[in-house]
């Protein structure tokens, strides 16, 4: 079995001038301008795709941040209302139990002392969807 030795320089054989061709030019390896332009175009398309994905993710993150802020604001408002309702009727050392409850709902717009004293046993007063609400509580006057 005979083993032949590999040539010392394969590149020299591949790029050497062709024997008998009569020209002495060497083949230069590299990329053509068309290959470079195609590679740059492909790179730019990939880069444009990545920028689009990044921009969409940034917009989505901003929208999620806004939604989270609204949720947190709503939670805070509910906590404030809960605390206010929990403490409704708390008058420190004053005990309104011996007072008699008024037969009708007192006027929410009243500022005179006798009406305010008669309303003390009622810690919370409300109006159903604004029906029969006094004029001082209408949205147009607020």
User: Measured between alpha carbons, how far is 137 from 131 in angstroms, rounded to an integer?
Assistant: 11
Percent of the residues in the chain that have a pLDDT greater than 70, as a whole number? 73
91-100: pLDDT as tens digits:
667 776 777 7
pLDDT value for 134 = 76
How is the chain split into domains, by residue range? 31-94
Q: Is residue 124 within 8 Å of 96, Cβ to Cβ?
A: no
Instruction: Output 86 or 62, whichever has higher pLDDT.
Output: 62
pLDDT at residue 90 greater than cutoff 80: no
Instruction: Print burial letters for 78-99: b (CB count within 10 Å at least 16), e (below 16).
Output: eeeeeeeeeeeeeeeeeeeeee
pLDDT value for 132 = 72
99-110: pLDDT as tens digits:
777 777 777 788
pLDDT at residue 52 greater than cutoff 80: yes
Neighbours of 110 (CB within 10 A): 14
pLDDT at residue 20 greater than cutoff 70: no
């Amino acid at each position: 079995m005979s083993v032949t030795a590999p040539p010392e320089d394969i590149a020299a054989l591949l790029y050497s001038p062709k024997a008998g061709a009569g020209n002495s030019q060497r083949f230069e390896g590299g990329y053509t301008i068309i290959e470079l332009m195609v590679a740059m175009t492909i790179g730019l398309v990939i880069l444009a795709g990545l920028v689009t994905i990044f921009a969409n993710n940034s917009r989505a993150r901003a929208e999620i941040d806004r939604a989270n802020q609204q949720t947190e604001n709503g939670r805070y408002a509910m906590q404030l209302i809960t605390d206010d309702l929990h403490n409704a009727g708390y008058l420190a050392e004053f005990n309104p139990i011996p007072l008699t409850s008024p037969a009708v709902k007192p006027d929410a717009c009243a500022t005179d002392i006798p009406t305010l004293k008669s309303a003390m046993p009622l810690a919370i007063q409300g109006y159903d969807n604004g029906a029969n609400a006094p004029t001082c509580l209408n949205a147009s006057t607020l």
